[in-house]
Chain A
C-alpha cells in the first residue's frame, strides 16, 4: 500500500491517458479528471416507435463524483426536510424525492441551462439540479422571505427563471400543457433548445396530457415528456389506475423510451438521445422506472399500500447512490473513506443551511399584496382613490 501512495504522489500531476487497470490503484485529483470511462447501463432500453440508444454510456471520474455528491446532497436534504416537517417547521404539503435522485441528476448532465424543465410538486431536487441553493430551498419550505419564491409559494412552487426551471405545480397534470407551451416558445424563438415536462404515473392518465401531446406532435414541438414512474399514484398502484401501465407506449404515434430511472447514467443517455430526437422529429416520451422511499407526501406513511419489504428491497438492490458508489469504488476513483467524507461534508452543509434558514426572517406583512399584478408596466392604472399613479405606456 505504501508503494501505491508513493506512486500516486509522483503521478499526481500527470494526466494519464491509459484507462485504469484494476491492479494499480492510482489516486489523482478526482474532482478535475475527465478521462472518459465507458459504463454499461444496468438494463437495456426498451423503445416504442424509435431505435433505442446504445447501452454504453460515456462518462468520466469528475462526472461520477459530481453525481455522487449531488445525489448525496439531495438525499440528505430530503431527509432533513422530513425531520423539519415532523418538527412542524415545514407545514402544508411536503413531497419528498428521495429514491428518485438519479432522474434529476442524470437529466442535468445531458442538457444545458437553456433547456427548460418543468415538473409537478415533487420539485425540491429538480430545483437543486437546476442550480438552486440549499438556502433557497429550506427558506422557502419554512416560508421565509429568503426562499426562491419569497416564501409565498411553498414546497410545491419552486421556480428559477434564470436557469429555466419553470416549477413547481400543485395540480396534477396541469404542468404538461405548460411544458408544451414552453416548447412552443422555444420553437417560436428558434432557440434550438428543448423542454422536459416531467409528470408522474398518476398524472399519466390526465386528459390534458394527451391533448398537449397531440398538439405537440402536430406542430413538431421540441417537447420531451418524462414520466417519472414510481409505480404509485398517491396511494394507488399503477396497475389499479392505468389499463396500460406501459407509459412510454401511451403516446401511440409519439415515440417512447423506457429507462431504468435508478441508474443516473442511463437517464443521462436517454435524455441526450431524447434531446437530439426532439430537435429533429418532435415530441418523445421517456418513462423513468424509478421509486420513492417516502410516501406520496409527509401525511402518507407510505406503507399502507406497499410492503416494507418492497421498499427495503428496492433500497438494497436499486438505490441510485449505492450504484454510483459501487461504480466509483470499482473503478478506484476514490476510497470508501473519501466518499464517506463527502457525505459527512454534505450533511454538515445541510445542517448549517437549516440553521441559517431557521434564523432568516418571515416575509413582511406588506408583501401580502405584492406580485399579485405586475405593476408599473403598461397603461396608467389607479386604485379606488386614484392614489397609485403608474408609469406610462411601454
Chain B
C-alpha cells in the first residue's frame, strides 16, 4: 500500500531527497504544466488541476506553435503539452534564484534590495552571484535599516521600477510594518489608482531549528489584514520559482513567504519558462474523505501524516493553499463540497493566524457542505522556545494530524 498519488498526465518523480527528514521518499507533485514563452504575450493558462487553456486568437496559435517546437525536440514524449521534458534538478533556493535571474534578464526594471544580497550572495544564497552578473545598481546591499529600505523600495516602485526587497528574516520586516501597511498596501487606493506598487517583499520565516523566539516568527498572520497586498507561500522548488516569477510580474505588491527549513528541498523542474498563478491553490493529493488545507512547511508534515492515514485506510485530500491572501476559495470550496470535512494545518499561532481566517472564510461560504466543525491545527500561542523538545511541541507534528483526522472521520 504505497502511497498512491494521482497525477494527470505524465508526472515527473522527485528524486529522493535525504536532506530533509520529513519529506517522504517518493514524492509526486502535481505534474508540470505548460509555460509562457519569454517575451511573447502568452495565452496559455495553467491550472493546478491539470487542464490547460488556450485562447482562441492568433497570438495563441503562435504560442501553440512555439509550444510544439519546444516539445518536439524531446525524444520520448507521448502526452501533447504536458511536460515530457525531463527538466533539471535543483534545490529550492536555487529555484528562487533561477526565477529571480530570469526575471532580471527579462526586464531591466527589476532590482533586488536587501541586507547582504549583493557581494555576500544572500544569507540563504538566493541571490548568489547576481551582483556579479547584474552589477551593484541592480543588486543592492543595504545597511541594516529595514524601515527605510523597504520605504525606498516602495518609492522606487511608485515610479515604475520593480524592486524585490529581501528581509533577511521575515521577522525583521516588523520594523517596516508601517511602510508595508500604509504605503505599500494602500497607495494604489488612496491615490485613486494613479500609482501601482509592483514590489515583491520576500524572505524566510517560520519556525526553524532552535533559532529562538525572535527569529521564528510567522508574519503572515500580522500582514493578512493589510488591504491591497497579496501574500503567497512557496513550498516546493517548482512553485517557488513559479511564484517568484509571477510575483515579480504582478502589478500588485506581493509578499512571498519562504521557510527557513525548506531551502534545501530538491526537485526536478522544467527547463521551460513557466509561472504559477498567484491566486491559486495546489492540489497535492486528491482524495475523498477529508480535506486537509496547509501551506509551506506544514505541507510536508501533512504528507507524512497522509502516508500513515492511507495505511490506515483513509483517503485524505491534501491542498497546499499557496495563496494566503486572497484565499483560493474556488479550489477549497470544490474540495469541501466533495469531502464535507476540513482540517487546517498551519504553522501560524492559534490566535489570529491564517487558519483562523480560513476557518471563518470556509464557514461563511460553505457551511452547508460541512458535516463536522472545521478542525484547525496551529502552533501554540507561545514564543518559540530554544530547547529542541519544546520547540517541536510548539508546531504541529504528523502524529497530531493523524489523530485529528481520525477524530474527524469517526
Say whether A associates with B.
yes
Residues of A within 8 A of B (CB): 116, 118, 147-154, 157, 159-161, 166-171, 174, 176-182, 184-189, 207-208, 211-212, 214-215, 218-219, 370-374, 377-386, 392-394
119-161 of chain B: CB within 8 A of chain A: 137, 140, 142-143, 145, 147-161
CA distance A359 to B2 in the complex (A): 72
A178 to B140, Cβ gap below 8 A? no
B42 to A177, Cβ gap below 8 A? no
CA distance A188 to B152 in the complex (A): 13
Query: Shortest beta-carbon distance, B119 to chain A, in Å?
Result: 14
Nearest residue (CB) in A for B159 is A185
B156 to A185, Cβ gap below 8 A? yes
A373 to B140, Cβ gap below 8 A? no
Interface string of B234-255 (1 = CB under 8 A from A): 0000000000001001111000
A179 to B155, Cβ gap below 8 A? yes
B152 to A382, Cβ gap below 8 A? no
CA distance A57 to B137 in the complex (A): 37
A214 to B183, Cβ gap below 8 A? no
B41, B148, B160: the one contacting A211 at CB < 8 Å is B148
A386 to B191, Cβ gap below 8 A? no
B41, B152, B158, B252: the one contacting A180 at CB < 8 Å is B152
B140, B149, B191, B279: the one contacting A167 at CB < 8 Å is B191
Nearest residue (CB) in B for A151 is B192
Report chain A residues within 8 Å CB of B111: 188
Report chain B residues within 8 Å CB of A384: 327, 329-330, 333, 365
Report chain B residues within 8 Å CB of A166: 155, 158, 195
Report chain B residues within 8 Å CB of A212: 145, 148, 151-152
Report chain A residues within 8 Å CB of B365: 384
Residues of B within 8 A of A (CB): 36, 41-43, 45, 55, 111, 137, 140, 142-143, 145, 147-161, 178-179, 182-183, 187-196, 227-228, 230, 246, 249-252, 275, 277-280, 326-330, 333, 365
Query: Shortest beta-carbon distance, A176 to chain B, in Å?
Result: 8
A177, A188, A219, A377: most-surrounded residue (chain B CB, <10 A): A177
A181 to B151, Cβ gap below 8 A? yes
CA distance A373 to B323 in the complex (A): 15
A152 to B151, Cβ gap below 8 A? no
Nearest residue (CB) in A for B327 is A384
Nearest residue (CB) in B for A177 is B151
Nearest residue (CB) in B for A221 is B152
List 14 additional A-B contacts (Cβ < 8 Å) besides A180-B148, A185-B155.
Answer: A161-B191, A177-B154, A181-B153, A184-B155, A185-B159, A185-B161, A371-B189, A373-B230, A380-B277, A382-B279, A383-B329, A383-B330, A386-B330, A393-B43
Report chain B residues within 8 Å CB of A160: 194
Report chain A residues within 8 Å CB of B157: 181
CA distance A383 to B365 in the complex (A): 13
B190 to A153, Cβ gap below 8 A? yes
Report chain A residues within 8 Å CB of B277: 379-381
B43, B250, B279, B330: the one contacting A392 at CB < 8 Å is B43
Report chain A residues within 8 Å CB of B153: 181
Query: Shortest beta-carbon distance, A232 to chain B, in Å?
Result: 23
A149, A161, A171, A177: the one contacting B150 at CB < 8 Å is A177
CA distance A116 to B161 in the complex (A): 15
A174, A218, A394: the one contacting B182 at CB < 8 Å is A174
B155 to A181, Cβ gap below 8 A? yes
- Beyond A182-B159, A184-B156, A188-B137, whether A374 also contacts B192 by CB under 8 A is no
B194 to A149, Cβ gap below 8 A? yes
CA distance A133 to B7 in the complex (A): 60
A118, A168, A174, A394: the one contacting B41 at CB < 8 Å is A394
